Amino acid sequence: AELLYASARTVKGEIDHLSAHRWYLMQAGNTGAAGRAWLRDRWSEESDAAWRIDITMAGSYDKDEASRDFLLKVAEDERSDPLEILHAANLLVHQGPAAILAPRLKRVALRMSDARARPALNCLLWQWYGDA
Protein backbone atom coordinates (compact mmCIF):
# COMPACT_ATOMS: atom_id res chain seq x y z
CA ALA A 1 0.00 0.00 0.00
CA GLU A 2 2.84 2.37 0.84
CA LEU A 3 4.61 1.78 -2.47
CA LEU A 4 1.40 2.22 -4.48
CA TYR A 5 0.51 5.35 -2.53
CA ALA A 6 3.95 6.81 -3.22
CA SER A 7 3.42 6.13 -6.93
CA ALA A 8 -0.04 7.72 -6.76
CA ARG A 9 1.52 10.91 -5.43
CA THR A 10 4.28 11.10 -8.05
CA VAL A 11 3.09 9.54 -11.32
CA LYS A 12 1.26 12.00 -13.58
CA GLY A 13 -1.17 11.39 -16.42
CA GLU A 14 -3.62 8.57 -16.95
CA ILE A 15 -3.61 4.79 -16.73
CA ASP A 16 -6.48 2.88 -18.35
CA HIS A 17 -8.42 6.16 -18.81
CA LEU A 18 -8.22 6.99 -15.10
CA SER A 19 -6.02 9.54 -13.42
CA ALA A 20 -2.82 7.85 -12.31
CA HIS A 21 -3.64 8.84 -8.73
CA ARG A 22 -7.02 7.06 -8.80
CA TRP A 23 -5.58 4.00 -10.57
CA TYR A 24 -2.80 3.55 -8.01
CA LEU A 25 -5.21 4.07 -5.11
CA MET A 26 -7.58 1.48 -6.54
CA GLN A 27 -4.69 -0.99 -6.54
CA ALA A 28 -3.62 0.05 -3.04
CA GLY A 29 -7.15 -0.65 -1.81
CA ASN A 30 -6.60 -4.27 -2.82
CA THR A 31 -3.62 -4.76 -0.48
CA GLY A 32 -5.66 -6.20 2.37
CA ALA A 33 -7.04 -4.94 5.65
CA ALA A 34 -3.69 -3.64 6.90
CA GLY A 35 -3.09 -1.74 3.66
CA ARG A 36 -6.56 -0.20 3.76
CA ALA A 37 -6.07 0.83 7.40
CA TRP A 38 -2.80 2.52 6.42
CA LEU A 39 -4.58 4.31 3.55
CA ARG A 40 -7.36 5.53 5.85
CA ASP A 41 -4.69 7.19 7.99
CA ARG A 42 -3.46 9.08 4.91
CA TRP A 43 -6.86 10.76 4.46
CA SER A 44 -6.25 13.12 7.38
CA GLU A 45 -2.90 14.18 5.93
CA GLU A 46 -4.15 14.96 2.41
CA SER A 47 -5.08 18.55 1.55
CA ASP A 48 -6.46 17.95 -1.96
CA ALA A 49 -10.18 17.09 -1.80
CA ALA A 50 -10.12 15.18 -5.11
CA TRP A 51 -7.25 13.03 -3.88
CA ARG A 52 -9.06 12.46 -0.57
CA ILE A 53 -12.01 11.08 -2.57
CA ASP A 54 -9.65 8.50 -4.09
CA ILE A 55 -8.33 7.64 -0.63
CA THR A 56 -11.91 7.34 0.63
CA MET A 57 -12.74 4.90 -2.14
CA ALA A 58 -9.63 2.78 -1.55
CA GLY A 59 -10.00 2.79 2.22
CA SER A 60 -13.58 1.55 2.15
CA TYR A 61 -13.35 -1.76 0.29
CA ASP A 62 -14.24 -3.65 3.45
CA LYS A 63 -17.77 -3.67 4.80
CA ASP A 64 -16.77 -3.70 8.42
CA GLU A 65 -16.78 -1.41 11.43
CA ALA A 66 -13.39 0.14 10.58
CA SER A 67 -14.57 1.04 7.08
CA ARG A 68 -17.90 2.36 8.36
CA ASP A 69 -16.18 4.46 11.05
CA PHE A 70 -13.80 5.88 8.46
CA LEU A 71 -16.61 6.80 6.06
CA LEU A 72 -18.58 8.43 8.87
CA LYS A 73 -15.47 10.42 9.77
CA VAL A 74 -15.25 11.64 6.16
CA ALA A 75 -18.97 12.48 6.05
CA GLU A 76 -18.91 14.34 9.36
CA ASP A 77 -15.52 16.07 9.14
CA GLU A 78 -15.62 19.88 8.93
CA ARG A 79 -12.98 20.00 6.20
CA SER A 80 -14.74 17.57 3.88
CA ASP A 81 -15.82 19.03 0.56
CA PRO A 82 -19.58 18.60 -0.21
CA LEU A 83 -18.77 16.10 -2.96
CA GLU A 84 -16.58 14.12 -0.56
CA ILE A 85 -19.50 13.97 1.84
CA LEU A 86 -21.83 12.81 -0.91
CA HIS A 87 -19.33 10.16 -2.01
CA ALA A 88 -18.84 8.89 1.55
CA ALA A 89 -22.62 8.80 2.10
CA ASN A 90 -23.10 6.80 -1.09
CA LEU A 91 -20.52 4.26 0.05
CA LEU A 92 -22.07 4.12 3.51
CA VAL A 93 -25.61 3.35 2.40
CA HIS A 94 -24.27 0.26 0.65
CA GLN A 95 -22.68 -0.91 3.89
CA GLY A 96 -25.40 -0.40 6.48
CA PRO A 97 -26.81 -0.94 8.96
CA ALA A 98 -29.57 1.59 8.39
CA ALA A 99 -30.35 1.92 12.10
CA ILE A 100 -26.88 3.41 12.68
CA LEU A 101 -26.32 5.24 9.42
CA ALA A 102 -29.67 6.84 8.60
CA PRO A 103 -29.83 9.18 11.63
CA ARG A 104 -26.20 10.24 11.31
CA LEU A 105 -26.42 10.87 7.57
CA LYS A 106 -29.64 12.80 8.10
CA ARG A 107 -27.79 15.11 10.53
CA VAL A 108 -25.02 15.50 7.95
CA ALA A 109 -27.60 16.48 5.32
CA LEU A 110 -29.20 19.04 7.65
CA ARG A 111 -25.81 20.72 8.23
CA MET A 112 -24.93 20.83 4.52
CA SER A 113 -25.54 24.15 2.76
CA ASP A 114 -24.19 23.39 -0.72
CA ALA A 115 -26.97 24.12 -3.23
CA ARG A 116 -26.22 21.10 -5.40
CA ALA A 117 -24.86 18.51 -2.98
CA ARG A 118 -27.54 18.89 -0.28
CA PRO A 119 -30.46 17.99 -2.61
CA ALA A 120 -28.39 15.10 -3.98
CA LEU A 121 -27.69 13.84 -0.46
CA ASN A 122 -31.36 14.18 0.49
CA CYS A 123 -32.32 12.24 -2.64
CA LEU A 124 -29.83 9.51 -1.73
CA LEU A 125 -31.29 9.29 1.77
CA TRP A 126 -34.85 9.11 0.47
CA GLN A 127 -33.86 6.41 -1.99
CA TRP A 128 -32.27 4.23 0.69
CA TYR A 129 -34.16 5.07 3.85
CA GLY A 130 -37.47 6.65 2.86
CA ASP A 131 -38.54 8.96 5.68
CA ALA A 132 -36.13 7.51 8.26
DSSP calls for 16-54: TTEEHHHHHHHHHTTS-HHHHHHHHHHHTT---HHHHHH
Q: Report how far residue 88's alpha carbon sits from residue 60's, in angstroms, rounded to the nearest whole number.
A: 9
Q: State how far the Cα of 52 lies from the Cα of 49, in Å rounded to an integer.
A: 5
- pLDDT tens-digit series, residues 75-87: 999 999 999 999 9
Mean pLDDT along residues 97-119: 95
Q: How confident is the model at residue 131 (pLDDT cuts 50, 70, 90)?
A: low
The whole-number average pLDDT for the span 61-74 is 95
Nearest to 126 by CA among 85, 93, 100: 93
Looking at the predicted structure, is the pLDDT value of residue 40 above 60? yes
pTM of the model as a whole: 0.92
Measured from the Cβ of residue 111, the count of other Cβ atoms closer than 10 Å reads 11
Rounded mean pLDDT, 25-47: 96
